[in-house]
Structures are given as structure tokens and as C-alpha cells.
């Protein structure tokens, strides 16, 4: 009994009642709404979503471009040498482990969902930017890969690093709490990080994270269920959907309960090894020459037309394509930014700003592009040559079905399909466990090792919300949830940029000037290298 009271007592003592209470309330309201009035809830979500992409789509695009520009400045400018910690701090994890955790948390299971699906979709329905290009032509193939690289390239990763760097800087140099609101420390002072403005930032972070992670868990849960149906011919139904996602939720909850070193790091390392194996196997067994030639040309066009794509709104026509694709993706990355940024901060002690941006943006993009070139190129080639009916599978099962006919058509297809489904599962776990850990940190005032009860609560809420969104509205409901929750946090990412300019530039925050004037040494967070309890 005393042990139970100790566990519960730790859970109660660590809570930030405002942030935790609002986060739980939002989750409960959403779950209840989709249970009691599913059609009305889905319609309301879609209406808000439509308003945002039609009226404020320009803000999403402009904000993301500003983040990319600033990250490139951090990478190649003088601020890249700033260390996230004291001069004596050493990196907590090896570079390989650091990259594996960062990549697995940041790119998430969405890369598995859209890898085989997005390029084939653009190949069949040409983006309006390439007006005049014939569908399912060679030009359409290159353009399809180009837009896929754009959606999953440096833009997505920039949003994460913009949040992670200032949190890590203030936490490890000035003993600030490990939470998203720490980014406003130079404006309100370290002593006021429990005030109203800080609470508001943390509440927005929780709100965004709930929508972002529910979107991802729902998409990948759908892909896993589609795999079961595709390979066995059995449809699991709504109850099966809830049960399967619940099972996956239990898996990632166990992982996050083990802590960063024993749980997240080990699963991430396995995940990256499997990811690399499947990419190489598909590249070798698939249309290697086509993947290489079309992929290289698409990379060149991605670099050449990056600015044009970044500002493209299709103002002369319907904005629905831009809203359904680019705005959705940018909002999705914004909704992931608080917890991925917080996770990046958590594992970046002892790194420099440049190490974070090079790893988190350039290296991560360098790994992402070969995956999409391989999966998208193979999907397009097999469809064009009649070797696989990928588009037919997409028509029957939705985007989640694109990968299965692709792997089935290659030598060793049964083994590749099993590896693909395993990768879906491990990416689901690594994405969800890092986000659940971040939610625990956010709702406990920056606790480095939130209690197991806290993590289990958030794991349960995320699994329930993801399964309900899938049952009620499918992919469209998930996309709407990401756009609605990601919008407010786009503003916070811009605040983070100003925060870094103020801190790293000529204008010094008052509390930093005081520290330097008095000669007091910077304090760093202690005990972080220890494993989570």
C-alpha cells in the first residue's frame, strides 16, 4: 500500500494543475464528442479546417518559409557555435543514438504511411503548379517526387529545431524548466515562467500535440489495419480498429515507461536499422535505374523551385489542393513541433546549435529523400509498367493501401511485406512514446522524468482519440485535426525565432545581462544523464 501511495503521490505532486487539467479536459471533450455526436463533431472539425486553409493558408506557408530561412542562418552563421550547456558538458548520447532518436521521433510513422502513397497520387493527379503536364507521364513522375521531397524535406525539420534549440539553451545554460514556455524566458524573465503567459504557451503546446499525435497514430493504425485486410482478406471493422490501436498504444506506453535509455533509445535504434534495411532492399530489388534517375532529377528541381513551391497558393484556381496537401503538412509539422522540439531539447545537452540543425534538418532530410525516392519511384514504375496495380489499391483501401501491392510485386514480396508491417509498428511506437514523454513533461511543469501514471494516462487518451477519429471520419478527419491544432502553434514558432534573435544577437535579455554582470556562472540541469525512473 505504501508503494502504491508513493506512486500516486509522485503523480499528484509533479502535476502542473492548469496545463494538465486543460489538456485532459480537451482530450475528454474530444473523445466524448466523437462518441456522443460523431457526425456533428466531424462536421464541425471539417468546417473549421476549411476556413483555416481557405483564409489563413498563406500564414502557414509564410511562417514555414521564415523558419527554413532562419534555420539555414543558424547552420551556416556564427550562432551555430553556441553550446547548449556549459563548456564542460559532454553529449549525453553517441551521435548515432542521437540521430536515431531524433529521426524516429521527428519523421514519425507518417513516413511509412506516405512513402509509397504520395508520389503515386501526384503522378495520377498532377499538382496544379505543373499545369499542362499530362497525368501518368514521365514529367508527372518527376514532379510527383519533387513535391513529395518538398513536403517531407527541410521545411518539416526546421519547425522542430526552432522549438528545440531555445528550450535546450535556457534549460542547460540557465536552469530553466524543460517545457515549451521556456522559449519566452527572454521576454518575461526566468522568474515568471509560472505566470499566465507561460501557462498559455504550454496549454497551446498540449493542444497542438494532442491533434498532431492523434493524426499520426490514426494514419498508421489505418495502414496496419489495411495490411491485415490486404494480406488476409478479413476486415476488422470498427471494433477491430479500436482494439488494434489500443494494442499498439499499450506497446508504446510500455516503451515510454522504460525511459529514454532503456526504452526509446533501443526501440529507435532497431527502428532505424529496419528502416535502412527495407530502403536498401527495395532499391536493389526494385527499378534501381529509374529510382536513381527520376530521384536525382526531382532533387534538382526541388532545390531549384523551392521558393516557388513555398509560396505557391494556386490563387488563380481552387485552393483546395494546396490546402489539402501543403497546408495540411505544414500544420501537421507545426502540431508536432512542441513535443518533437521538447524531445530534441531533452536529448541535446552538450551539443552545439549547429550540431542540432545539421542533424535535425540536413542529415534527416538526407535520409528522408532516398526513402521517398525509392518508395515513390518504385510505386510509379510498377504502376506504369503494369507490374502492380498500386492506384487500384489506393482506390479500394485509400492511401494506406499503396505499400502492399508495391512490395508484393518485388522478389521476396512476402518477406518485404512483413518487414513493412513491422516497420509500421516500430515507427508507431517511437513516434508515440516520444510524444507521450513530452506530454508528461509539459503537464508536470518540466519534470524530466514524469511518473508512469502520467505517461499511461496520455497514452490512453491518444490511442482513444486516434481510433475514434479513424472510425468516424477516416483520413480526412485526421487531416482536419492536424490543421486545426497546428495553426495556433505556428505563431509560437515565430516567437521562438524572435527569442533566439534576442538571446543570441546584440540585444541581450535582462536576466542574461544580470548573470554576466554579477559574474555568476551559468547553471546547468543536473541529473539529466541519468536514465528515467
Q: Where are the domains of the chain?
A: 14-518
Query: What pLDDT shows up at residue 11?
Result: 62
What pLDDT score was predicted for residue 178? Answer: 84
Helix (H, G, I), strand (E, B) or coil at 403: helix
Position 323 scores a pLDDT of 83
Helical residues (DSSP H) of 386-509, grouped into ranges: 390-397, 403-408, 413-442, 452-472, 474-504
Residue bearing cell 513493412:
420
The predicted structure's pLDDT at residue 496: 94
| Cα-based distances in Å from 381 to 151, 241, 419 | 21, 32, 21
Burial class (CB in 10 A: 0-12, 13-18, 19+), 481: buried
**Which is nearest to 464 in space by CA: 215, 108, 209, 214?**
214
154, 365 contact by CB (below 8 A) = yes
Mean pLDDT by 10 residues, the chain (533 residues): 53 72 74 72 73 81 95 93 86 83 72 87 91 88 95 91 93 88 89 86 81 72 74 68 70 57 65 88 95 96 95 76 86 84 88 92 92 95 91 82 88 89 77 71 72 74 70 60 74 93 68 42 34 36
Q: State CA 299 to chain mean position distance.
A: 22
Residue 102 phi/psi, 5-degree rounding, is -60, -45
CA nearest neighbour of 130 among 301, 381, 292, 295: 301
DSSP per residue over 215-255, as a string?
A: HHHHHHHHHHHHHHHHHH----HHHHHHHHHHHHHHHHHHH
Tell me if 360 sits within 8 A of 88, measured CB to CB. Answer: no
d(CA 167, CA 183): 6
Cα separation, 101 vs 319, in Å, equals 36
Output Rg (C-alpha) for the chain, integer angstroms: 22
Q: How far is C-alpha 468 from the geometric centre of its chain's CA atoms?
A: 20
Grid look-up 489500443 returns 246
Positive or negative: CA dihedral 353, 359, 360, 361: positive
Residue 61's pLDDT is 93
Smallest CA-to-CA distance from 305 within 448, 164, 108, 142 is with 142
Give the residues across from 352 on adjacent strands.
83
Write down the pLDDT at residue 441: 76
Eight-class DSSP state of 83: B
CATH level 2 (architecture), domain 14-518: Up-down Bundle (1.20)
Longest dimension (CA), the chain: 73
Q: Residue written as cell 479500436?
A: 242
Cα 376 to chain centroid distance, Å, stands at 20
Spatial CA neighbour of 72 closest among 161, 147, 149, 152? 161
What is the dihedral sign for C-alpha 264, 266, 267, 273?
A: positive
Amino acid at each position: 500500500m505504501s508503494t502504491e501511495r508513493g506512486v500516486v503521490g509522485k503523480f499528484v505532486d509533479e502535476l502542473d494543475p492548469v496545463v494538465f487539467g486543460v489538456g485532459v479536459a480537451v482530450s475528454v471533450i474530444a473523445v466524448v464528442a466523437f462518441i456522443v455526436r460523431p457526425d456533428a463533431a466531424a462536421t464541425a472539425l471539417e468546417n473549421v479546417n476549411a476556413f483555416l486553409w481557405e483564409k489563413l493558408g498563406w500564414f502557414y506557408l509564410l511562417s514555414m518559409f521564415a523558419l527554413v530561412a532562419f534555420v539555414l542562418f543558424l547552420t551556416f552563421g556564427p550562432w551555430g557555435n553556441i553550446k547548449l550547456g556549459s563548456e564542460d558538458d559532454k553529449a549525453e548520447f553517441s551521435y548515432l543514438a542521437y540521430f536515431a532518436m531524433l529521426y524516429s521521433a521527428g519523421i514519425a510513422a507518417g513516413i511509412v504511411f506516405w512513402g509509397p502513397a504520395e508520389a503515386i497520387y501526384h503522378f495520377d493527379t498532377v499538382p496544379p503548379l505543373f499545369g499542362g503536364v499530362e497525368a501518368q507521364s514521365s514529367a508527372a513522375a518527376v514532379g510527383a517526387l519533387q513535391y513529395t521531397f518538398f513536403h517531407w524535406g527541410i521545411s518539416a525539420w526546421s519547425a522542430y529545431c526552432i522549438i528545440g534549440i531555445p528550450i535546450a539553451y535556457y534549460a542547460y545554460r540557465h536552469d530553466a524548466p524543460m517545457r515549451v514556455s521556456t522559449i519566452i524566458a527572454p521576454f518575461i524573465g526566468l522568474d515568471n515562467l509560472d505566470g499566465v503567459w507561460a501557462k498559455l504557451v504550454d496549454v497551446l503546446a498540449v493542444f497542438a500535440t494532442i491533434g498532431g499525435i492523434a493524426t499520426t497514430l490514426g494514419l498508421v493504425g489505418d495502414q496496419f489495419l489495411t495490411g491485415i485486410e490486404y494480406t488476409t482478406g478479413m476486415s476488422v471493422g470498427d471494433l477491430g480498429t479500436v482494439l488494434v490501436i489500443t494494442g499498439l498504444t499499450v506497446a508504446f506506453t510500455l516503451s515510454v515507461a522504460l525511459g529514454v535509455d532503456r526504452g526509446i533509445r533501443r526501440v529507435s535504434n532497431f527502428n532505424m536499422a529496419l528502416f535502412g534495411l527495407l530502403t536498401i532492399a527495395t532499391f536493389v530489388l526494385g527499378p534501381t535505374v529509374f529510382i536513381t534517375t527520376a530521384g536525382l532529377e526531382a532533387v534538382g528541381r526541388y532545390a531549384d523551385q523551392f521558393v516557388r513551391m513555398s509560396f505557391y497558393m494556386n490563387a488563380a484556381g481552387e485552393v483546395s489542393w494546396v490546402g489539402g496537401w501543403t497546408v495540411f503538412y505544414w500544420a501537421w509539422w507545426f502540431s508536432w513541433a512542441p513535443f518533437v522540439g521538447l524531445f530534441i531539447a531533452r536529448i541535446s545537452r552538450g551539443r552545439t546549435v549547429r550540431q542540432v540543425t545539421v542533424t535535425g534538418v540536413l542529415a534527416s532530410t538526407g535520409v528522408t529523400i532516398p526513402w521517398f525516392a525509392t518508395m515513390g519511384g518504385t510505386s510509379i514504375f510498377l504502376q506504369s509498367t503494369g507490374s502492380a496495380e498500386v492506384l487500384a489499391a489506393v482506390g479500394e483501401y485509400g492511401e494506406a493501401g499503396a505499400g502492399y501491392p508495391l512490395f508484393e510485386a518485388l522478389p521476396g514480396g512476402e518477406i518485404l511485406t512483413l518487414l513493412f508491417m513491422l516497420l509500421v509498428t516500430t515507427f508507431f511506437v517511437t513516434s508515440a512514446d516520444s510524444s507521450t514523454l513530452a506530454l508528461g513533461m509539459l503537464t508536470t511543469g518540466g519534470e524530466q522524468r514524469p511518473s508512469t501514471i502520467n505517461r499511461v494516462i496520455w497514452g490512453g487518451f491518444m490511442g482513444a482519440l486516434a481510433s475514434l477519429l479513424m472510425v468516424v471520419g477516416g483520413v480526412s478527419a485526421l487531416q482536419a485535426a492536424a490543421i486545426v491544432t497546428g495553426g495556433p502553434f505556428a505563431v509560437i514558432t515565430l516567437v521562438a525565432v524572435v527569442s533566439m534573435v534576442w538571446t543570441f544577437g546584440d540585444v541581450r535579455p535582462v536576466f542574461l545581462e544580470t548573470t554576466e554582470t554579477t559574474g555568476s556562472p551559468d547553471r546547468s540541469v543536473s541529473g539529466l544523464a541519468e536514465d528515467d525512473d
